Amino acid sequence: MKILPKETLLVCATGVIPALIVQYREGINQLKEFVSGAVVPDYLFFYFLLFFVTHFFSALFLWLYGYKISPDNQRTAKTIIKYIGAVGDTTLGIYRLTAGLLFAIPLLWKWVEPDNLNNIHFVGLISLALLFFGGVFAISSINTWAHKR
């Protein structure tokens, strides 16, 4: 399966659909509790973000300049990228959940309380969701590339 449709399906399955279920079954107050409990604290978010950035740039470096280093160093670099990618998989799950919630929340908000969310905030939240989805897509692409090599 191609990466974009796969990640779209997984983001919906891990973030959007659970948010819709909670909203439908329990209401907006339970949804707020669900979201606050589902998203990791800032310091953990930045910890996992560090792994994402390290993973991304090390894979990019190997992809762009890997042919210039010896085969032994290439194997070592790929092994390191795969280890960092293992933590990146955890990051990927967190980003999938966050992206899904960031897509679901403004849509539900606009549906439940349309007067309390202006268009600028709506577009801002959807843009943030797209940014997180871009992170999901980038991590998934890097993981796929590293495991093929």
Query: What is d(CA 133, CA 104) in angstroms, rounded to the nearest whole number?
Result: 13
What confidence tens digit (pLDDT) does each residue in 18-44 have? 988 988 898 878 888 888 777 777 787
Q: Domain extents for the chain?
A: 3-148
Q: What sign has the CA pseudo-torsion 57, 59, 65, 66?
A: positive
* pTM exceeding 0.85: no
Task: Find tokens 């590339």 and name the residue.
Answer: 145
* Terminal-residue alpha carbon distance, the chain: 18
What confidence tens digit (pLDDT) does each residue in 45-68 have? 787 777 777 777 777 777 667 667
Query: What is d(CA 111, CA 75) in angstroms, rounded to the nearest whole number?
Result: 52
> How many degrees, rounded to 5, is the angle at CA 142 between CA 145 and CA 99?
140
What confidence tens digit (pLDDT) does each residue in 74-119 have? 777 777 777 776 776 677 787 888 889 889 988 888 888 888 888 8
Query: What is d(CA 140, CA 133) in angstroms, rounded to the nearest whole number?
Result: 10
Residues in the chain: 149
Query: What is d(CA 60, CA 66) in angstroms, rounded to the nearest whole number?
Result: 9
